[in-house]
């Protein structure tokens, strides 16, 4: 059984072993201190327009006043369904300042998915961008939602620019389908601008929040089953903000006192961007460049060309896509100090290309919605790719468990489990599911298979259910994908298990080519040079793209289900 904490001896100089999660009683305390301390700094940028901390302070207080005027009880759930637009920056602070719980919703959800989440959370109000209102329209009558605030893309832009943006979005690009949301005694609908305006004259009362009050219901992506709400308390998220700040500060302090500029291309409804971009950004006085659609690479590159960026959190697919775009290389990377990779495994080929291009290594970390999210991270002074997810962050313990929950020795492969102040209180209204993942001594079982070395460095082997069993041998897709992605003719790939009469399961590889002349025979020959025979793909299928979540994580499950259906 592992009882020591070998990782502590290997922290980067300046990173403490512990943080004080009791530094703030709530996220509201943290935000209000940031609004005051950084009042004159820019907090967010969108379409060339900047908003200062003091402006977000005023707008969020007004919106909080409006929300309180609706008569919702303390702890009421309020859903937010938007991409990265400035209204989101205001709404997160407003809901928390009103004493309510934020329920982040993926704006690309289908009506079925949206209905499930709103019902499960018991959401009584929602702030939604009009582009996605038709989805809400289909299901709102079957949900607890009684208050709807509809935002438009240009709401917070200067009048002429905002009107032009709304005209283009509604009439030229036709991104806003016709919708008719209810406005009755039972369900009220107002515009975002009217809500903020009414809130300015409403009486706002600062709630008495405690560290153990619920701040977020952060729903898991649903890629492994029914979407469940991870119950994140104020203290959970506060702890992870302070853990991240402690981890990043030695590198970011090299920039001196100048305001930091961060790329917010990951959606704010995702826990990675929520904690690292929004809250840590507020704490450190950073400006977030809001990117509403990271898949539009030319638009992303054009936006970034106007700034000297310092922080770039992203998933491997976005790093990879940008690194392979010729115009991205023309940007100025002289200020880039931290590139944070999470959400999925960072591939060696991507990491090496990014480092060569920007001079800034991708620092891979690891976490989940259930851990607010960051649990481990590599040292920021690492220059070379090491294939690990790093060391447990301050005040965090990682254990490797067997199937019975016993702690394994250093070097043994088992399930990664996490204990620390950032671990959720449990799944919302699901004590049965909570019991499955929490050990009696307080560790959260992640469902990921990993190993810890003698230095405390943790490496993921794979997801339990992604593991492929070939003739009794375990094959881990991450390993196969790491090898295949190093082939110069491959842009990206995914490995899944498919039924096989002889071996039970066989490896099938889905590949997006960088070199269109690459053949199946060439790729198989390459794999046989790099991998043991049972790990080599039996089948190869070339595709123009791979299914991904909106965050950019490749959906192996969808590829597996597709093959089963066939």
Q: State the DSSP string of 444-493.
A: EEEEEEEEE-TTS-EEEEEEGGG-EEETTEEE-HHHHHHHHHTSTTEEEE
Task: Tell me how far apart the alpha carbons of residues 288 and 43 are, in angstroms, rounded to a whole number.
Answer: 6
Read off the DSSP letter of residue 450. E
Give the pair of three-digit tokens for residue 91.
Answer: 């709404």
**Nearest-angstrom CA–CA distance, 505 and 462:** 17
Strand order in the sheet with 504-513: 490-500, 504-513, 539-543
Burial 530-548 (b: 16+ CB within 10 A, else e): bbeebbbbbebeeeeebbb
Per-domain residue ranges of the chain: 9-21+235-463, 50-209, 467-565
- Secondary structure of 221-247 as H, E, C letters: CCCCCCCCEEEEEHHHHHHHHHHHHHH
Instruction: Give the C-alpha distances (Å, rounded to integers) separating 461 from 348, 377, 556.
Output: 15, 16, 16
Q: What is the CATH number of domain 467-565?
A: 3.30.300.30
Q: Which of 275, 226, 215, 230 is nearest to 424 (CA)?
A: 230
Start-end of H helices in 106-180: 111-121, 133-139, 159-167
pTM of the model: 0.90
How many CB atoms neighbour CB 205 within 10 A? 11
Per-residue pLDDT, 223 = 39
Enter the tokens of residue 304.
């970034």
Pairing of strands 188-191, 147-151: parallel
Same CATH fold assignment for domains 50-209 and 467-565: no
Looking at residue 564, its pLDDT comes to: 66
Say which CATH architecture domain 50-209 belongs to: 3-Layer(aba) Sandwich (3.40)
429: closest CA among 94, 101, 82?
101
> HEC states along 299-359?
HHHHHHCCCCCCEEEECHHHHHHHHCCCCHHHCCCCCCCEEEECCCCCCHHHHHHHHHHHC
- Taking a C-beta distance cutoff of 8 angstroms, is the pair 216, 78 a contact? no
Beta strands in 70-213 (DSSP E): 77-81, 101-104, 123-129, 147-151, 188-191
Provide the H-helix boundaries in 122-267. 133-139, 159-167, 192-201, 234-252
What tokens were used for 137? 């329209």
Q: Give me the torsion for CA of 559, 560, 565, 566, rounded to 10°.
A: 70
Contact 195, 150 (CB under 8 A): no
* Cβ neighbours of 4 (radius 10 Å): 9
Q: Rg of the chain over CA atoms, in angstroms?
A: 23
Contact 490, 518 (CB under 8 A): yes
Residue in this structure with the two tokens 């995702």, named with its chain if needed: 270
Pairing assessment for the beta strands 444-452 and 458-463 based on DSSP bridges: antiparallel
- pLDDT value at residue 171: 96
Residue 438 per-residue DSSP state: B
pLDDT in single tens digits along all 566 residues of the chain: 445 899 999 999 999 999 999 999 999 999 999 999 999 999 999 999 999 999 999 999 999 999 999 999 999 999 999 999 999 999 999 999 999 999 999 898 888 889 999 999 999 999 999 999 999 999 999 999 999 999 999 999 999 999 999 999 999 999 999 999 999 999 999 999 999 999 999 999 999 999 999 999 999 854 345 689 999 999 999 999 999 999 998 888 888 888 999 999 999 999 999 999 999 999 999 999 999 999 999 999 999 999 999 999 999 989 999 999 999 999 999 999 999 998 888 999 999 999 999 999 999 999 999 999 999 999 999 989 999 999 999 999 999 999 899 999 999 999 999 999 999 999 999 999 999 999 999 999 999 999 999 999 999 987 777 888 888 787 889 889 999 999 999 999 999 999 988 888 999 999 999 999 999 999 999 999 988 888 999 999 999 999 998 889 899 989 988 866 66
8-state DSSP, 409: P
Chain-centroid distance, C-alpha 536: 32
What is the pLDDT, as a whole number, of residue 225?
52
Q: CA 102, CA 399: separation in Å to the nearest integer? A: 31
How high is the pLDDT of residue 1?
Answer: 45
Whole-number Å distance between alpha carbons of 293 and 296: 6
- State the residue for tokens 């891979």: 364
CATH of domain 9-21+235-463: 3.40.50.12780
């Amino acid at each position: 059984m592992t009882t020591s904490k070998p990782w502590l001896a290997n922290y980067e100089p300046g990173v403490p072993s512990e943080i004080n999660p009791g530094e703030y009683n709530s996220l509201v305390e943290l935000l209000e201190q940031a609004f005051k301390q950084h009042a004159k700094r820019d907090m967010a940028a969108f379409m060339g327009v900047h908003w200062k901390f003091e402006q977000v302070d005023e707008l969020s207080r007004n919106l909080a006043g409006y929300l309180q005027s609706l008569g919702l009880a303390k702890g009421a759930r309020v859903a937010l369904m938007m991409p990265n637009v400035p209204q989101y920056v205001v709404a997160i602070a407003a809901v928390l300042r009103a004493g309510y719980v934020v329920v982040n919703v993926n704006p690309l959800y289908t009506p079925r998915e949206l209905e499930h989440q709103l019902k499960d959370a018991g959401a009584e109000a929602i702030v939604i961008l009009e582009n996605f209102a038709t989805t809400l329209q289909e299901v709102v009558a079957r949900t607890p939602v009684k208050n709807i605030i509809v935002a438009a893309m240009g709401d917070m832009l200067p009048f002429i620019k905002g009107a032009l943006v709304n005209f283009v979005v509604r009439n030229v690009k036709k991104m806003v389908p016709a919708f008719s949301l209810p406005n009755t005694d039972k369900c009220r609908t107002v515009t975002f601008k009217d809500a903020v305006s009414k809130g300015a004259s409403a009486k706002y009362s600062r709630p008495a929040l405690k560290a153990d009050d619920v701040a977020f219901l952060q729903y898991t992506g649903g890629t492994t089953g029914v979407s469940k709400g991870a119950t994140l308390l104020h203290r959970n998220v506060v702890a992870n903000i302070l853990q991240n700040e402690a981890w990043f500060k030695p590198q970011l302090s090299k920039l001196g006192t100048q305001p930091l500029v961060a790329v917010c291309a990951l959606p704010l409804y995702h826990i990675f961007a929520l904690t690292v971009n929004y809250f840590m950004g507020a704490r450190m006085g950073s400006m977030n460049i809001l990117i509403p659609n990271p898949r539009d690479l030319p638009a992303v590159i054009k936006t970034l060309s106007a700034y000297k960026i310092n922080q770039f959190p992203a998933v491997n697919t976005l790093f990879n896509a940008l690194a392979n775009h010729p115009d991205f290389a023309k940007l100025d990377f002289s200020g880039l100090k931290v590139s944070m990779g999470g959400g999925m495994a960072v591939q060696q080929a991507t990491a090496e290309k990014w480092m060569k291009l920007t001079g800034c290594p991708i620092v891979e970390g690891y976490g989940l919605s259930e851990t607010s999210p960051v649990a481990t991270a590599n040292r920021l002074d690492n220059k070379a790719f090491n294939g690990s997810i790093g060391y447990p962050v301050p005040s965090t313990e990682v254990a490797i468990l067997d199937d019975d929950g016993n702690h394994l020795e250093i070097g043994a492969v088992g399930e990664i489990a996490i204990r620390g102040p950032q671990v959720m209180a449990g799944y919302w209204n699901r004590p049965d599911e909570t019991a499955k993942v929490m050990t009696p001594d307080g560790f959260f079982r992640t469902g990921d298979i990993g190993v810890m070395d003698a230095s405390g460095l943790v490496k993921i082997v794979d997801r339990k259910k992604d593991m492929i069993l070939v003739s009794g041998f375990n094959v881990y897709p991450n390993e196969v994908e790491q090898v295949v992605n190093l082939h110069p003719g491959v842009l990206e790939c995914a490995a899944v298990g498919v039924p096989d009469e002889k071996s039970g399961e066989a490896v099938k590889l889905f590949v997006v080519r960088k070199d269109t002349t690459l053949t199946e025979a060439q790729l198989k020959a390459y794999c046989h040079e790099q991998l043991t025979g049972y790990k080599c793909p039996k089948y190869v299928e070339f595709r123009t793209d791979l299914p991904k979540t909106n965050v950019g994580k490749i959906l192996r499950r969808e590829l597996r289900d597709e093959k089963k259906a066939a």
